[in-house]
Amino acid sequence: MFSFAFNSIEEAIYMNGHGIYVWTVCAIVFLCLTVFFTSYRKKIQKIKNKLNESN
């Protein structure tokens, strides 16, 4: 029913020599998304606090 591209976890991590690039890019993207979400969350919290103080 399903046909996997890799026969083992090691092959999936190694990816025929390209794994280091793929996993590095995945880590960078995850890190950037985390930083952006947390920074915008803090900005939104600041705005909420300002609005609550003005009321």
Output the DSSP codes for 6-48.
Answer: -SSHHHHHHGGGTHHHHHHHHHHHHHHHHHHHHHHHHHHHHHH
Q: Where are the chain's structural domains?
A: 9-54
Read off the tokens for 2.
């399903």
Entry pTM:
0.73
- Local mean pLDDT, 10-residue blocks, the chain (55 residues): 84 92 97 98 96 87
Q: What is the pLDDT of residue 29?
A: 98
15 Cβ contact partners less than 8 Å away, ≥ 6 residues apart: 6, 22
Cα 45 to Cα 38: distance, rounded to the nearest angstrom: 10
